[in-house]
Structure 1
C-alpha cells in the first residue's frame, strides 16, 4: 500500500521532494524527466535532476528516488538507463505519459502510446542495458487520442520487462480535466502481470480509498494532491492504520514553503525562486483558504523576500483545510 510522489516537470524538483518527504507518508519519489535525444548526456545532467544520486538515490529522510528518462531512440534510452544505474540509480523509470505539446511534437511522452511496438523497443532496450537487480518501470496514460490503448500499451511494457506500470487515468486529449477513469486502470490490471499503480485525481483520503477500490490497485501515485495538501500521504497512512491525523495548519505549511525557498536559493536565481513559490501557492489554494485569500496579492510579487513576508501576514480565517476542490 505504497504512496508515490509523482514527477511533475517544473515543480517536483529535488527541493520539494526533500520538503514533502520530511512531512512523512511518501514511500518513493520519481524525478522530473531527463530528456534523451541523439547525444550522450554528461553525468552533471543526471545530478542536476537527481542530486539524490549523491546520497544513494535517497532523500535526506531515506525515501528512494527513481530516475526518469524520456525519449524515443531505443538505443540512446538504453545507454542512458545504463548510465543512470552506473551513477547509483536504484530504479530507472520511462516516461510515456507526458502530455505537453512540445514534448509530444518531438516524439516523447504520451504520443508514443500511438506506437506500442516502439514502447516495447524502448523499454526492452533499457531493460537489457540496466543491471538485472535494478527495476525498470514505466509511466503512461490510457492513450493519446482516446482511452482505448491502455491494455495494448500495458501488455507491450510487460513483455519488454517493465516490472511496474504507473497509469494516469486519462488520455492525452483528456489532459487533467476531471474525472479520472480509474475503472480503465482495472482493465489493464486484469490484462498484465506487471504491478500496476494508479494515478490521477487523488486530492483527499476519501479519493484514495475510492481509487483503490475502483482501480483494483494497492499502490497509488499522487501529484497535484500532495502539492495542494503536503500532509495528504501522512493522512492516508494514518487511515490505513485506522487512525485519524490532524490536518496540517497554514502556519505549518508556511514553514515548509520557507524551507523550500531557502533550498531553491542555493540552486536558482531569485526571480525563478519566486516563480516556483507562486506555483506551489497556486496549488495550495485547493487545500487552504489562507492561500486562496493571499493569491490576488502574491501573484503580483516578483521578489523572494516580499513573497515570504506576504505568506506571514495575519488573516481572519480558521487555520484548517477547506473542502476539496
Structure 2
C-alpha cells in the first residue's frame, strides 16, 4: 500500500507482533533500470537482511508492465538479496492504472502470464515469485483466467483481494470468489480484503477456504489485529492493545517519520495513520480533531507526549 505501509509503519506493526512477513510499498518500474538508492529509499530493510528490526521478513514488490525492465529489475532485487519478488496486479489507483500498472492488467490474462514468466525466468530458482491480484477490472469474467495465467507462469503463491478494480474499497467483498480461485489453481492462495477484526479473519478463512490471510487496512487501523489472530491460533486468550498502550507506538512512529521526511510533511503522514486509527480506536478521534489543522511538526510531537494524549483522550 503505497504511502501507507512504509518502513516506519512496517517497523511498528511487526514489533507489536503476530505478522509472519510483510511486503514493501510497490516499486514502480517504467522504462528503465532501478538503482540501489531508489530501492533502499523504499525498502531500507534491504540493508538488514531484508528484515524489519524485529526480524520479520520483507518481500520486495514490483509494479509495471514492461517485460524487459520488469525482468531486469527483478534480477536487481534478487542480487540485492530480496527473499521474494512480488508482482502487483491489484492496485486500483487511477494514476497507476493509467500507465498500465496494477489492476488494469487484469483485462489481459496473457500479459499477466508473460510478465510473471519473464520475472520467473530472470531470477534464481531459489527466489520465489509471487503475485497480488483482484477479482478483475470491472467484473469477474476473467478472474479464473488471470489466476491460472499467474500460476501457469510460475507464481509460487497468489494473494487475492476479494473485489474488482471498479469496486475499489466499497464494503461489499466477495470472499466466496476467493474460494473459486483457490479451487482453480494448484498454488497456494492467500485471502485478502475487508478483514478488520478477529471475527472477520475467522469468516474469511471459512468462506474462502484459504489457510492464510493477508492483512491490509485492517491492521493499520487496529495494529494489534495480527497479534490477536496469533493468540487465537495458539489457544491463548486474546488481549487487545488498548489506546493507552498504543501511545508509545504513536510516538515511535512519529519519531521515525521525522527522520525520513522533511518537517513540513511529517504532520500529514502522522495524521493519515491517526485518521485510520479512529476506526479501531474511538479514542483516537479526539486527538485527530485536535491535530486536524496542525501543520507544525514540533507541535504535533508535543501533542503526542503522554500527558497531552491523556488530556486529549
For residues 206 and 78 of structure 1, the distance between their equivalents in structure 2, rounded to whole angstroms, comes to 40
Q: Superposed, which structure 2 residues align to 1:8-87 within 5 Å?
A: 8-87=1-80
When normalised by structure 1's length, the TM-score is: 0.93
Instruction: Give the corresponding residue for 1:210.
Output: 203
Give the match's secondary structure for 1:83: helix
For residues 210 and 218 of structure 2, the distance between their equivalents in structure 1, rounded to whole angstroms, comes to 18
For residues 262 and 66 of structure 2, the distance between their equivalents in structure 1, rounded to whole angstroms, comes to 33
Match of 1:129 among 122, 128, 133: 122
Which structure has the highest helix share of the two?
Answer: 2
User: Does the 8 A contact of 2:287 with 2:312 survive in 1?
Assistant: no
Instruction: Give the corresponding residue for 1:196.
Output: 189
Give the match's secondary structure for 1:184: helix
Instruction: Give the corresponding residue for 1:314.
Output: 310
Where structure 2 has 5 or more consecutive residues not aligned to the other structure, the ranges are none
For residues 311 and 160 of structure 2, the distance between their equivalents in structure 1, rounded to whole angstroms, comes to 40
For the structure 1 residues 248 and 128, does the alpha-carbon distance in structure 2 shift closer, same or farther, using more than 3 Å as the test?
same
* Deviation for aligned residue 1:315: 4.8
User: Does the 8 A contact of 2:286 with 2:312 survive in 1?
Assistant: no
For residues 2 and 312 of structure 2, the distance between their equivalents in structure 1, rounded to whole angstroms, comes to 35
User: Does the 8 A contact of 1:201 with 1:207 survive in 2?
Assistant: yes
For residues 36 and 13 of structure 2, the distance between their equivalents in structure 1, rounded to whole angstroms, comes to 26
User: Does the 8 A contact of 1:198 with 1:220 survive in 2?
Assistant: yes
When normalised by structure 2's length, the TM-score is: 0.96
* Deviation for aligned residue 1:108: 0.4
Q: Which has the higher contact order (CA 8 A, sep 6+)?
A: 1
For residues 192 and 297 of structure 1, the distance between their equivalents in structure 2, rounded to whole angstroms, comes to 50
Greater mean deviation of Cα atoms: 261-270 or 155-164 = 261-270
Give the match's secondary structure for 2:182: helix
Give the match's secondary structure for 1:313: helix
* Deviation for aligned residue 1:316: 8.2
Task: Provide Cα deviations, 1:130-179, integer angstroms capped at 9, x if missing partner.
Answer: 10011100001000011332211000000100001001100011000112
Instruction: Give the corresponding residue for 1:156.
Output: 149
Q: Superposed, which structure 2 residues align to 1:1-325 within 5 Å?
A: 8-311=1-304, 312-315=308-311
For residues 160 and 57 of structure 1, the distance between their equivalents in structure 2, rounded to whole angstroms, comes to 25
The two structures, once aligned, show a CA RMSD in angstroms of 1.2
For residues 309 and 89 of structure 2, the distance between their equivalents in structure 1, rounded to whole angstroms, comes to 43
Task: Provide Cα deviations, 1:220-265, integer angstroms capped at 9, x if missing partner.
Answer: 1111111111111000011112222221121221211110111112
Give the match's secondary structure for 2:259: coil
For residues 114 and 149 of structure 1, the distance between their equivalents in structure 2, rounded to whole angstroms, comes to 7
Task: Provide Cα deviations, 1:96-146, integer angstroms capped at 9, x if missing partner.
Answer: 000000100000000000000001010000000010011100001000011
* Deviation for aligned residue 1:297: 2.1
Say how many residue pairs are matched: 310
User: Does the 8 A contact of 1:150 with 1:185 survive in 2?
Assistant: no
